[in-house]
Amino acid sequence: MTKYLYTVLSLALLLLGADVATAGNPDRQGEAGASQLLMNPWARTAGLHAMNTGSISGVEAMRLNPAGIGRINKTEFNFSHSRYFEGTGISINAAGFAARLKNNAAIAVSVMAVDMGDIPFTTDAQPAGTGATFSPAINNIGISYSYIFDNKISVGATARVVSEGTSDVTATAIAFDAGVQYVTGPQDNFKFGISLRNVGSRMTFRGQGLAVPANNPSGSDEYTLTYFQRSQGFELPSMLNIGTGYDVVINDKNTLSIMVNFTANSFAQDQVGGGLEYSFKQVLSLRAAYKYEIGSDNPDFDSIYTGLAAGISFDVPVKRGSDTRIGIDYSYRDTRLWNGTHSLGVRLSL
């Protein structure tokens, strides 16, 4: 029964992602909104440029492949802060919780908020600024469920509420992710994953900020009316990720993980890349990755994140022999503009 369920879910993912897989059309670049869904706040995943679709686990799996949520010991808390595009003043804060339930099921919840800093408030009459400032509210809250079958196949899904706006204009949407992971080999060495992300409703800005005063159109009397402008709706930045990996177990203390990933974007160029992660005694982890944009012939339209990423993690048991561990993660992603993105995270695994 579980084998049939896995087959049906895999086919559904491939069919739903058919339009995405044939994407990579530069003519559609910039047509999608809610770019916060493309931001990765988690330090470990960021250090691999999200090349770990097949092996990601815990809270961070909510951002890439929810099928990996349950691949933790019991419970995980994760907190992360990112200095996004160093020099712009933008930062991202994220927090999440994942827990395994009975019968191989797992749930997770995460919250992410983007701080855009203080932006000068301008008007037509005062283009240099009025002296006041504002900061857009960009947030999303997600909840996930995953299940691991006895044959090492796991499936998962995420529902996420996406919100953007200011004090007088807002837009909201519901985004859905779904994924599958398969693990096999004598030591669970081989890992494979597929995830379809950011499929959901269109977003449309609404609010008092779209009201515009104008003269009476009839011209019979001189008085002002308030008109509400209609905002054009926009799609979410859907994508399909296909990734695989292999763990080379050198000995009982040293492991080298090799990963390859392909991303098909609906509103941008497709991307391919690979990553390496070295682990020593499950205490120290070093990782690096490279991402390449397929078919790009104009550097001005390249993704901001094509290139290198790297990271490091320390996982320390609370006491000798304890399953409770505290982890500290750091990553750096090179960017085509500005001075890169730094991410720092703290994990508590029970």
Extents of the domains making up the chain: 2-203+237-349
| Per-residue model confidence (pLDDT) at position 38 | 92
Under the banding of pLDDT at 50, 70 and 90, the label for residue 145 is very high
**pLDDT digit string, tens, across residues 201-226:** 899 999 888 888 888 777 667 778 88
Q: What is the pLDDT of residue 219?
A: 65
Residue 22 pLDDT: 46
pLDDT reading at 235 higher than 60: yes
Residue 6 has pLDDT above 60, yes or no: no
* CATH superfamily to which 2-203+237-349 belongs: Outer membrane protein transport protein (OMPP1/FadL/TodX) (2.40.160.60)
pTM for the model: 0.87
Least confident of 154-163, 206-215, 231-240, 294-303: 294-303
> Can you give the pLDDT at residue 179?
95
Average pLDDT over residues 146-174: 92
> Beta-carbon neighbour count of residue 196 at 10 Å?
25
Residue 209: per-residue pLDDT: 85
- pLDDT > 70? residue 15: no
Q: Which two tokens stand for residue 221?
A: 């009397």
**Residue 342, beta-bridge partner list:** 83, 332
C-alpha angle 325-328-143 in degrees, rounded to nearest 5: 80
Average pLDDT, whole number, for the chain?
88
Least confident of 29-33, 48-52, 113-117, 123-127: 29-33
216: helix, strand or coil: coil
Bigger pLDDT: 305 vs 97 = 97
Residue 318, amino acid:
V
The pair of three-digit structure tokens given for residue 152, joined into one six-digit string: 């090492």
Q: Is the pLDDT of residue 8 over 80?
A: no
- What was the pLDDT predicted at 221? 72
What mean pLDDT is predicted for residues 166-185? 93
Least reliable range by pLDDT among 76-85, 115-124, 239-248, 274-283: 115-124
> Which carries the bigger pLDDT value, residue 231 or residue 110?
110
User: In this structure, what token pair is assigned to residue 309?
Assistant: 């990423």
Give yes or no for residue 121 having a pLDDT over 70: yes
- Cβ neighbors of 261 (< 8 A, separation 6 or more) are 50, 51, 52, 53, 241, 242, 243, 244, 272, 273, 274, 275
Distances (CA, A) of 290 to 3, 199, 274: 35, 26, 6
Q: Say yes or no to pLDDT of 11 above 60.
A: no
For 239-258, write each residue's pLDDT tens digit: 999 999 999 999 999 999 99
3-state per-residue secondary structure call for 76-97: EEEEEEEEECCCCCEEEEEEEE
Nearest to 60 by CA among 96, 103, 100, 99: 96
Write down the pLDDT at residue 1.
45
